[in-house]
A and B are shown apart, each in its own frame.
Chain A
Amino acid sequence: AQSVTQLDSHVSVSEGTPVLLRCNYSSSYSPSLFWYVQHPNKGLQLLLKYTSAATLVKGINGFEAEFKKSETSFHLTKPSAHMSDAAEYFCVVSDRMNSGYSTLTFGKGTMLLVSP
């Protein structure tokens, strides 16, 4: 069985400072990992994904994540926060079922607050 733990329910940063959103996972197989962002009253948008290629993944809007198998982590970072980054972020693990199809398991989300 797979699971995802987002270590912080809320993260507050000032505009222009670095962002770190933490995510740990457990999975029976070699998983795929995703970060999704949800702005207020909007749907979910894919930020980036790891699918067993390069361990450092670059996404949209300057976000990056590094897959560390030894630490079972997939933390999301950005060098400099922008006001428009304020949103809720979800770490997601995708694992293969016996059927051959995959299923998604979501973390509980981290709300990123950016102050001027």
Chain B
Amino acid sequence: EAQVTQNPRYLITVTGKKLTVTCSQNMNHEYMSWYRQDPGLGLRQIYYSMNVEVTDKGDVPEGYKVSRKEKRNFPLILESPSPNQTSLYFCASSLGGTGSNYGYTFGSGTRLTVV
């Protein structure tokens, strides 16, 4: 089944303790992206990657890192989490390419709480 898999689904952590949220897709998509969802703000893009070793900042990159060493994986790293990073996170992938009409496939989300 074509899908984007995120882990973990739920995570509670303490301020300053490094964590990684994994994202993997099995569709050979070039484009991958991370979003955070907060009430009343919709989804905002954190980072995106157009292909292996090619990443760039989205709208809200502060406090996050990403890497794209393999095409299928796009982990989101919080080096020193803070309470304002408490949010619902979604990973998405797309064929990308030269058109803008490719649909995106979203993961099921990771609900992160930083205390």
Contacts and interface: CB of A to CB of B under 8 A. Distances in A.
A102 B31 CA distance: 9
A98 B20 CA distance: 30
Contacts of B96: 101-102
A102 B40 contact: no
B90 A49 contact: no
Given A90-B42, A101-B97, A108-B42, A46 B50 contact: no
A63 interface: no
Given A32-B101, A52-B101, A102-B100, A90 B50 contact: no
Interface in B90-105: 90, 92, 94, 96-104
Interface stretch (B11-19, B65-73, B74-82, B106-114): B106-114
A25 interface: no
A115 B44 CA distance: 30
A101 B42 contact: no
Contacts of B92: 104
Contact of A42 (B43, B102, B108): B108
Contact of B43 (A29, A46, A106): A106
A32 B109 contact: no
Interface residues of B, number: 28
Contact of A95 (B40, B48, B90, B100): B100
Interface in A14-51: 29, 31-32, 34, 36, 42-46, 49, 51
A90 to B, nearest CB: 6
A101 B99 CA distance: 7
A49 to B, nearest CB: 6
Interface of B: 31, 33, 35, 40-45, 48, 50, 58, 90, 92, 94, 96-104, 106-109
Interface of A: 9, 29, 31-32, 34, 36, 42-46, 49, 51-52, 90, 94-96, 99-104, 106-109
Given A94-B100, A104-B104, 7 more contacts: A90-B42, A95-B100, A96-B100, A100-B98, A101-B50, A102-B94, A103-B48
